[in-house]
Amino acid sequence: MLGFAIFRLIHIIAGFLALTVFWIPIVTKKGGKAHVRVGWVYVIAMASVAVSALYMGIWRIGFDPNRTLDSTAFAWFLIYISLLSSATAWYGMRVLRFKKRAASHRKLWDLLFPGLLFLSSLVISGYGYAISFPLLTWFPLVGIFLGGTQLRYWLRPPVNKMHWWFEHLTGMMGCCIATITAFTVFGAPRLLQLDSVNPIIWFIPAIVIAPIIAGMNRYYRKKFSGAAVPTRK
């Protein structure tokens, strides 16, 4: 139990840090000092969230003597959020590392994460359907989409000079969906001392952020088509 308590504390602190800073790279100058430095703070915080969530999820499933069907379902969601957040953050950073590539990209680690995300999304969705748990049934559709698009991006040659920009944006905003959804499911009800919330609320972060991603992509595509291309050092 001591180990679980330590990881839960790490999870809470890192989660609140991620929630506090995630918006700063979105609104600050892209490639500027604030964007880069706070972006790294967010990535490190989300890495801590992912590792602690994975540990707590495994503990709940395998070692919790008081586990129930609901607690086991939420534990699987913790594990899934761990994979979703780490896969999207990894993708968001790696596309910057290979922004000059002109051919398909087949490095194992870069294909492993989206592949796991895609396959686990299918499995978790099926599990959620089998136990009639809406969060696990429908939320993994986000992972199916993101995992599939990430694999497609790596396996095909780039068709746009600024491909890395849009993929970085999509990856990190996808990570934001995981951040806010996890807080909506686990953190907010506890802070507000609620025993339960309407399941629709769990999907609000994805419903709100997905159009923002699409809108930002359209904005920057239009901007880059008629303006100087920004660079990163």
Per-residue three-class SS string for the chain: CHHHHHHHHHHHHHHHHHHHHCCHHHHCCCCCHHHHHHHHHHHHHHHHHHHHHHHHHHHHHHCCCCCCHHHHHHHHHHHHHHHHHHHHHHHHHHHHHCCCCCCCCCCHHHHHHHHHHHHHHHHHHHHHHHCCCHHHHHCHHHHHHHHHHHHHHHHCCCCCCCHHHHHHHHHHHHHHHHHHHHHHHHHHHHHCCCCCCCHHHHCHHHHHHHHHHHHHHHHHHHHHHHCCCCCCC
Contact status, residue 170 vs residue 213, Cβ threshold 8 Å: yes
The angle at the Cα of 184, spanning 190 to 113, to the nearest 5 degrees, equals 125
Q: Which residues contact 102 (CB under 8 A, 6 or more apart)?
A: 157, 158
pLDDT of residue 196: 66
Placement of tokens 């748990």 in the chain: 133
How would you write the pLDDT of the chain (233 residues) with one tens digit per residue? 778 899 999 999 999 999 999 999 999 998 899 999 999 999 999 999 999 999 999 999 999 999 999 899 999 999 999 999 999 999 999 999 999 999 999 999 999 999 999 999 999 999 999 999 999 999 999 999 999 999 999 999 998 889 999 999 999 999 999 999 988 888 877 777 766 677 788 889 999 999 999 999 898 888 888 654 444 44
CA-CA distance, 126 to 97, in Å (whole number)? 35
pLDDT of residue 233: 44
pTM of the model: 0.88
Contact status, residue 113 vs residue 87, Cβ threshold 8 Å: yes
Q: How far is CA 169 from the centre of its chain?
A: 12
CA-CA distance, 33 to 233, in Å (whole number)? 11
Q: How far is CA 41 from the centre of its chain?
A: 15
pLDDT of residue 158: 93
The encoded tokens of residue 195 equal: 């025993």
Of residues 205, 216, 218, 55, the one with CA closest to residue 142 = 205
